[in-house]
Amino acid sequence: MPLARIIKIFGALCAVGLIAVVVRQGQRYYKKNLAAPRTGEIVYREECLRCHGPMGQGVAGKSDEPLVGEKSIAFLAKYVAKEMPEDDPGALSQTESLASAEFIHKAFYSAEARARNNPPRLELAHLTDRQYRESITDLLGSFRRANSTNESGGLAAVYRGLKDGDSTNTDKNEAKFLERVDPVINFDFGTKAPAAGSRAEQFKINWSGSLLVPDTGEYDFRVTTPNGVRVYVNAPANGSEKNALIDLWVSSAMLRSGQGQAFLLGGRSYPLKVEFFKYKDKTASIKLEWRPPGGAWTVIPAENLSPKSSSSVDVVSVPLPPDDASMGYERGVSVSREWTEGVAKGGLQAAAMLAPRLHEYAGTTPTAPDRAEKLKAFTWRFAQLAYRRPLTPEQQAELLKVFGAEVTPEVATKRAILHTLSSPYFLYAATGPQDDYAVAARLALAMWDSLPDELLLQAAAKGALKTPEQVRAHAQRMQKDPRARAKLRDFLHHWLHVEEGSEIAKDQAAYPGFDQGVVMDLRTSLDLFSESVVWSEASDYRQLLLSDTILMNERLAKFYGQKLPEGQGFRPVKMDADQRAGVLTHPYVLATFSYTKSSSPIHRGVFLTRNILGRMLKPPPMAIAFMDDKFDPSFTMREKVTELTAKPACQSCHVTINPLGFSFEHFDAVGRVRATDNAKPINAMAEYTAADGTVLMLKGARDVAVHAAESQAGQAGFVRNLFQAMVKQPTTAYSPEMLGQLTERFRRDQYHVRHLAVEVAVVAALQK
């Protein structure tokens, strides 16, 4: 063939790139099949570094996202073999793909690697909002003998009035004609007497006992009656009518309502008293309701009322700015003017609550000649409890300066109290020597969000908080306290995003009857179920995900079309085990992660990915609003989400999110089971790639729950969530291996949630 012809053919081949293709294919074949396998580090340096940087931090203009995550080595190896290098995907052999995945995972990708390369520090943090309020309440309460109760069932009621047949109308002739426990205060006596043997035109009822408060926040109270009534909430035992939260003592003969508000801490009992009378009014009735934080008006239920008495509780109610939650849990790392002012106002409020009992607590009287010395001794004791340890000479000197001012001993004491509650030694619990007192302080914060009790301080004084066994014994003791129960309840709310559901509202045309009353009942149902699992003997985390029962009352059973077993209040209703799966399919959770008219696979999928399966999700590259009217009107929700998230930039996360969300499409926006969506059969089948690279075919919500219960990533995610909620620090700040060690212990302990909480507290307490 003439040379000119050969040159012409070669030029044509070059023009279409065939020579380059042949060369590239030859190079790929040589690398994959003939060349000696390169180490993972060399593969990364030669094939990946130019786009991802030397430590996976990313290169501007090429790959901006850092190489970090929680996928397994096997998962990464499959991805590398299929998709990398970007300019020649599939060029690496299986051996080199695995080697590079191992190098990436161990060098900078995994949480352990990130903790090793950039060890997180235990951040200096002040008391969170919750810790501040709890600590002051327990500090003030430590100076008096207080009684509380956990017993529920209603209020003690004493009925008095004129006996039937008595012609007199004087109070002197009144007698007690009935004494019992009333489950709730919701009576309409009409024109009749409340009991046989009494007269209808004139009687009195006194209800007394305790209010059992589940959550912290503002509680609204409302009483409705045509008669005379006073309601006392958290009032001192020796108080007068001036302490009434609601005062409608002058009857009007017409139905009217009075309201009051009180800030209360969860996990505590408060004195509750209601005084009621009828005098010649035509009718008699009374209804006592409350509106808990984020809830709706409802008659105060029997499970929140006790016939046993409680002492009043000193609660700091001043507004405080929200804690920093940028890491997914509340922590006291930010200091602002608002926080400083809030703490100062809190100290003033605490001092004002102490003032009426100052001499009593100090063991003196306003005229005693030794009151100055006794008030000073009280001040020392107050500061020691607040600082969680004996005072140093420097701290004593500071207090002496405050106490030695030219003012009365009482004023000096109040100033010393303000100084103590504003001191870093109180606000920053980690300050001071890292000794047994520091262990006691950390243990009390982990278990109670509060101060050490007397037993803990005694153990610290003896040097008896040095070993895990010593600390564990105290943690187990402390877990029996209602404050520990309240803290675990708070964690469960955080884990399940319960507070987000407080604003649930559904389109009434699409879901008639789904009102705030149903929402409140659903929240109560979820709380009762999750706490019954956690506080059972087994305390099995897996039952939170796999149980096939939902607690329902009459209203919920009617709305969800279920038959209630015999009994009162909320009762367990056995559901279809192929459909329902613990908290994941509880209607409150399903309704929370839905739109007003329809389900939301994206919201459900994100919740499941992060909170239940413990997997990371990067922030979306751009916010895309879900606009229902932009889709084909014949589309199902699954078809809409598939179209919305089809772009490659979306699929990096939605390849994980969507399959999980689609698996829950048999549930509508209020958590009822459905067979169709937009007149089409529901398709809940989805292919899901787990964190370890395993490909699962999910047939529905139950499959997701089973995978979550068995998944090491899901178990580790639960442990991490609980640790962060209790300690307010990341696990990696203690050691890169801490999460794995706690998770392995959790498995060996048959997934016992309360035992896990104790171990978390032990780790936090013994940290140096």
pLDDT tens digits, 689-723: 998 888 999 999 999 999 999 999 999 999 999 99
The residue ranking higher by pLDDT, 108 or 33, is 108
Judge whether residue 27 has pLDDT over 70.
no
| DSSP H or E segment with residue 7 | helix 3-16
pLDDT tens digits, 334-388: 899 999 999 999 999 999 999 999 999 999 999 999 999 999 999 999 999 999 9
Judge whether residue 513 has pLDDT over 80.
yes
The model's pTM: 0.87
Q: What average pLDDT does range 163-184 have in this prediction?
A: 77
pLDDT for res 111: 76
pLDDT tens digits, 544-557: 999 999 999 999 99
- Ranked by mean pLDDT, which of 41-55, 109-123, 160-174, 527-541 comes out on top? 527-541
- Give me the torsion for CA of 231, 236, 237, 242, rounded to 10°: -50
Q: What average pLDDT does range 493-517 have in this prediction?
A: 91
Residue 362, phi-psi category: left (phi > 0), alpha (psi -120 to 50), beta (remainder): alpha
pLDDT tens digits, 639-656: 999 999 988 878 888 999
| DSSP H or E segment with residue 465 | none
Of 141, 292, 318, nearest in space to 212 by CA: 292
Indicate the residue type of 555.
R
Judge whether residue 121 has pLDDT over 60.
yes
How far apart (Å, rounded) are the C-alpha atoms in residues 115 and 249? 64
172 pLDDT band, cuts 50/70/90, is low
- Nearest 5°: CA angle at 109, between 108 and 112? 75
Q: What average pLDDT does range 595-607 have in this prediction?
A: 95
Lowest mean pLDDT, pick from 72-81, 155-164, 301-310: 72-81
- Nearest 5°: CA angle at 240, between 291 and 139? 70
Question: Cβ distance 412 to 375 under 8 Å?
Answer: yes
Judge whether residue 17 has pLDDT over 70.
no
| DSSP H or E segment with residue 689 | strand 686-689
| DSSP H or E segment with residue 287 | strand 284-291
- Is residue 245 classed as helix, strand or coil in its secondary structure? coil
| Cα separations in angstroms, 700 against 586, 672, 685, 686, 734 | 14, 14, 6, 8, 38
Q: What average pLDDT does range 596-625 have in this prediction?
A: 87
Please list the residues that pair with 540 across neighbouring strands: 752
Question: Cβ distance 255 to 227 under 8 Å?
Answer: no
* Alpha helices (H) along 105-161: 111-117, 129-141
**How many Cβ atoms sit within 10 Å of the Cβ of residue 145?**
6
Judge whether residue 573 has pLDDT over 90.
yes
33 pLDDT band, cuts 50/70/90, is low
Judge whether residue 170 has pLDDT over 80.
no
pLDDT tens digits, 247-296: 999 877 799 999 999 999 999 999 999 999 999 899 999 999 999 998 88
Mean pLDDT score of the chain = 90
Please list the residues that pair with 247 across neighbouring strands: 230
Percent of the chain with pLDDT over 90: 70
Full DSSP string of 175-234 = EEEEEEEESS-EEEEETS-SSTTEEEEEEEEEEEEEEEE-S-EEEEEEEEESSEEEEEES
Would you give the DSSP letter of residue 329? S
How far apart (Å, rounded) are the C-alpha atoms in residues 545 and 577? 12
84 pLDDT band, cuts 50/70/90, is confident
Full DSSP string of 374-390 = HHHHHHHHHHHHHHTSP
How far apart (Å, rounded) are the C-alpha atoms in residues 388 and 328? 28
